[in-house]
């Protein structure tokens, strides 16, 4: 089953968001439960401290705990003073600083301001007083127990202080007279507390659900936003497989995907350029091969038809065209070998100035016929490089051949060598005519001619400088063309000196 990348992104974001929201809700729920339980317990402790003051007053008035011993009704009366709703006075047995006791859900019956029968007077106790006269029960009343100073049970909910109790001392004038204990509970026991914490939990769940919905929406939008450039890259790759090199990808971001789109566009431009070069290459090769083949076929057909006699002149013409064809094929083979890195190099120490002077001697006759003067500025300082003598001679011969063909007569050719740090710079500077500025960068392209209409008897196939560049690069060097100060063409070759180590060429 193939799952789209957009779906993978969406579910990855969604699962991550779901995990984060779930952990957040669980942690907040646990924290809320514990924090609220701690708060409730703390408030109960405050109430407990208040009651110790009330009980100390009870002890002082009755000179002991006898009145409270096993007297639950009076115990409830102490815990729930009977005060009417309109009475603003301080309840009996409670100091002025004590807060009012909290209300409890249930029916609230009016209470009598007068003390109940049997308490604080000589009247007999009323059996119905606990139901009619006492206020509503307090929240922790059922958990309170009174112990004497020796922790013996007096009255309340538990019989042993060894249970899980929170104990508070009851003192009078610094003397401990008893203990007030509150039985601890692990969870919330009051309905309103439980209702409150449930409300908080429901609020957390609602927030979690809303957060998850927002996270899902954001995950969907974010996955679409992130994958929009990817979709463009997919469309671009499809255009590439269809050989549509004119396609371009719109760059909308400056992130890694944006830089990838820019690289795609550069690749498209480069491939488009190579495609144009390939077509031009095929066209030029076809044209270059067609010319000598047409001449050969024409001359042979003329001989077959008896129009041209088969003599030495005809055979010499056929031989010249076959040599031209063979030279073109050899040049193409050399370029192919150089492109694949299979040029055989036998690099040995040699002095290029000596080699160049020997080749210049061979061209002196042809240069003199063209009235081209040689200015030798090679110097006498021996500089040694590691190079293949045969291929380096090929470079010098191609450059001198171009001088013979293209330099106007009378003219000048200046050859010079100099040391520039770790590099040997060999330059060929002619007197012109120069090459147009737009053609300088393409001068070393294959089959490129500055003047496409130039005769092949003069211009050659346009492969010489391309072969020179490949040979120089195979020697880890660099070759470039520029306009000479005299207006002609300046060719500079940079090669690494043999004592300079492995350093790149830098013209």
pLDDT for res 117 = 38
Which candidate, 421, 441, 425, 451, places its Cα nearest to that of 482?
441
Whole-number average pLDDT of the chain: 76
Band of pLDDT at residue 371, cut at 50, 70 and 90? very high
pLDDT of 489 strictly over 70: yes
Give the whole-angstrom CA distance, residue 248 versus residue 274: 16
Residue 287, Cβ neighbours under 10 Å: how many? 12
pLDDT for res 5 = 64
The distance of Cα 192 from the centroid of its chain, to the nearest Å, equals: 52
Of the listed ranges 150-154, 362-366, 450-454, the one predicted with least confidence: 450-454
Band of pLDDT at residue 373, cut at 50, 70 and 90? very high
The distance of Cα 66 from the centroid of its chain, to the nearest Å, equals: 80
Contact predicate 58/244, CB 8 Å: no
Band of pLDDT at residue 477, cut at 50, 70 and 90? very high
Helical packing angle, 389-406 and 464-474, nearest 10°: 150
pLDDT for res 234 = 79
CATH architecture of the region 256-339:
Orthogonal Bundle (1.10)
Give the whole-angstrom CA distance, residue 295 versus residue 249: 49
CA angle 415, 417, 421 (to 5 degrees): 155
pLDDT of 368 strictly over 80: yes
CA distances from 262 to 229, 241, 255, 256, 275 (A): 11, 18, 11, 10, 20
**How does pLDDT run across 87-131, given as a tens digit for each residue?**
334 344 444 444 444 443 333 333 343 444 333 333 334 333 333
**Percentage of the chain exceeding pLDDT 90:** 15
- Edge-to-edge strands, sheet with 153-156: 153-156, 144-148, 175-183, 165-172
Give the whole-angstrom CA distance, residue 180 versus residue 147: 6
Give the whole-angstrom CA distance, residue 120 versus residue 463: 130
Of the listed ranges 118-127, 164-173, 256-265, 267-276, the one predicted with least confidence: 118-127
Contacts with 195 (C-beta within 8 Å, 6 or more apart), sequence order: none
Q: Residue 6: which H helix or E strand, with range?
A: helix 5-62
Beta bridge partner(s), residue 387: 348
Which candidate, 45, 53, 46, 49, places its Cα nearest to that of 172?
53
- Domain 348-496 maps to which CATH number in 3.40.710.10, 1.10.3720.10, 1.10.510.10, 3.30.565.10? 3.30.565.10
Contacts with 177 (C-beta within 8 Å, 6 or more apart), sequence order: 56, 59, 65, 148, 149, 170, 171
Residues 100, 101, 103, 108, Cα dihedral to 10°: -90
Residue 301, Cβ neighbours under 10 Å: how many? 11
What residue spans define the domains of the chain? 5-142+185-192, 256-339, 348-496
**How does pLDDT run across 47-100, given as a tens digit for each residue?**
888 888 888 888 888 888 888 887 888 888 887 753 333 233 434 444 444 444
Residue 93 has phi, psi (to 5 degrees) of 65, 15
Cis peptide before 433 (omega within 30 of 0): yes
pLDDT for res 438 = 80
pLDDT of 367 strictly over 60: yes
Residue 253, Cβ neighbours under 10 Å: how many? 13
Mean pLDDT of 13-36: 76
Residue 145 has phi, psi (to 5 degrees) of -140, 140
Beta bridge partner(s), residue 181: 145, 167
Give the whole-angstrom CA distance, residue 182 versus residue 142: 9
Give the whole-angstrom CA distance, residue 238 versus residue 223: 22
Give the whole-angstrom CA distance, residue 167 versus residue 45: 9
Specify the 3-state DSSP secondary structure of 312.
helix
Give the whole-angstrom CA distance, residue 85 versus residue 395: 118
Which candidate, 391, 445, 380, places its Cα nearest to that of 417?
380
Mean pLDDT of 371-398: 90
Give the whole-angstrom CA distance, residue 291 versus residue 455: 11
pTM of the model: 0.48
Give the whole-angstrom CA distance, residue 277 versus residue 457: 24
Give the whole-angstrom CA distance, residue 456 versus residue 350: 35
The distance of Cα 224 from the centroid of its chain, to the nearest Å, equals: 17
Helical packing angle, 352-369 and 389-406, nearest 10°: 30
Specify the 3-state DSSP secondary structure of 276.
helix
Number of helices (H), then strands (E), in the chain: 11, 11
Of the listed ranges 235-239, 255-259, 311-315, 402-406, the one predicted with least confidence: 255-259
Specify the 3-state DSSP secondary structure of 460.
coil
List alpha helices for 370-444, DSSP H: 389-406, 437-440
Give the whole-angstrom CA distance, residue 397 versus residue 402: 9
């Amino acid at each position: 089953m193939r799952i789209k990348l957009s779906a993978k992104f969406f579910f990855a974001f969604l699962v991550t968001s779901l995990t984060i929201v779930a952990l957040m809700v669980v942690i907040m729920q646990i924290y809320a439960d514990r924090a609220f339980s701690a708060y409730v317990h703390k408030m109960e402790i405050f109430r407990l401290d208040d009651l110790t003051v009330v009980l100390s007053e009870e002890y002082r008035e009755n000179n002991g705990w006898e009145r409270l011993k096993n007297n639950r009704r009076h115990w409830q009366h102490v815990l729930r003073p009977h005060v009417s709703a309109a009475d603003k006075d301080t309840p009996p047995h409670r100091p002025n600083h004590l807060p009012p006791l909290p209300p409890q859900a249930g029916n609230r019956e009016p209470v009598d301001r007068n003390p109940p029968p049997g308490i604080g007077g000589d009247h007999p106790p009323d059996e119905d007083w606990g139901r009619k006269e006492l206020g509503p029960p307090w929240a922790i009343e059922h958990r309170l127990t009174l112990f004497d100073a020796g922790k013996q049970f007096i009255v309340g909910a538990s019989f042993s202080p060894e249970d899980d109790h929170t104990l508070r001392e009851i003192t009078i004038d610094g003397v401990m007279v008893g203990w007030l204990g509150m039985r601890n509970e692990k969870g919330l026991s009051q309905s309103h507390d439980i209702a409150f914490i449930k409300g908080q939990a429901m609020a957390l769940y609602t927030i979690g659900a809303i957060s998850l919905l927002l996270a899902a929406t954001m995950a969907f939008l974010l996955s679409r936003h992130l994958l929009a450039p990817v979709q463009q890259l997919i469309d671009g790759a499809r255009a590439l497989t269809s050989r549509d090199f004119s396609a371009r990808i719109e760059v909308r971001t400056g992130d890694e995907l944006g830089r990838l789109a820019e690289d795609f566009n550069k690749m498209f431009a480069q491939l488009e350029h190579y495609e144009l070069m390939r077509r031009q290459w095929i066209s030029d090769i076809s044209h270059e091969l067609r010319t000598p083949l047409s001449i050969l076929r024409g001359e042979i057909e003329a001989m077959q038809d008896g129009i041209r006699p088969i003599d030495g002149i005809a055979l010499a013409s056929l031989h010249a065209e076959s040599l031209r064809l063979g030279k073109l094929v050899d040049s193409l083979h050399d370029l192919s070998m150089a492109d694949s890195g299979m040029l055989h190099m036998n690099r040995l120490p040699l002095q290029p100035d000596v080699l160049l002077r020997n080749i210049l001697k061979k061209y002196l006759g042809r240069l003199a016929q063209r009235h081209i003067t040689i200015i030798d500025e090679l110097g006498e300082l021996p500089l040694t490089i590691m190079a293949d003598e045969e291929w380096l001679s090929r470079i010098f011969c191609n450059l001198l051949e171009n001088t013979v063909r293209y330099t106007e007569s009378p003219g000048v050719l200046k050859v010079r060598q100099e040391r520039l740090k770790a590099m040997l710079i060999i330059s060929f500077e002619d007197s012109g005519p120069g090459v147009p500025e737009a053609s300088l960068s393409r001068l070393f392209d294959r089959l490129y001619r500055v003047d496409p209409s130039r005769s092949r008897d003069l211009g050659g196939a346009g492969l010489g400088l391309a072969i020179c560049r490949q040979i120089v690069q195979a020697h880890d060097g660099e070759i470039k063309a520029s306009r000479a100060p005299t207006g002609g063409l300046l060719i500079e070759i940079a090669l690494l000196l043999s004592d300079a180590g492995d350093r790149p060429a830098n013209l």
